[in-house]
Amino acid sequence: MTREELQAQLTQILEQDFEFSNVAPGDNLRDVHGFDSIDAIELLAKLEKLLGFSISREEREGAMRIRTLADILDYIETLQKKRAEDGGGA
Computed over every residue of the chain, the mean pLDDT equals 91
Q: Kindly indicate the confidence band of residue 88, based on its pLDDT and cuts at 50, 70 and 90.
A: low
> Could you tell me where the DSSP H helices lie in 20-68?
29-33, 37-51, 57-62
Extents of the domains making up the chain: 3-85
| pLDDT recorded at residue 86 | 85
Q: What is the pLDDT of residues 59-74, one digit of tens each?
A: 999 898 899 999 999 9
4 pLDDT higher than 80: yes
Topology, domain 3-85: 1.10.1200
Nearest to 6 by CA among 82, 86, 67, 79: 79
Q: How many other C-beta atoms lie within 10 A of the C-beta of residue 82?
A: 13
pLDDT in tens, 19-59: 999 999 999 999 999 999 899 999 999 999 999 999 999 99
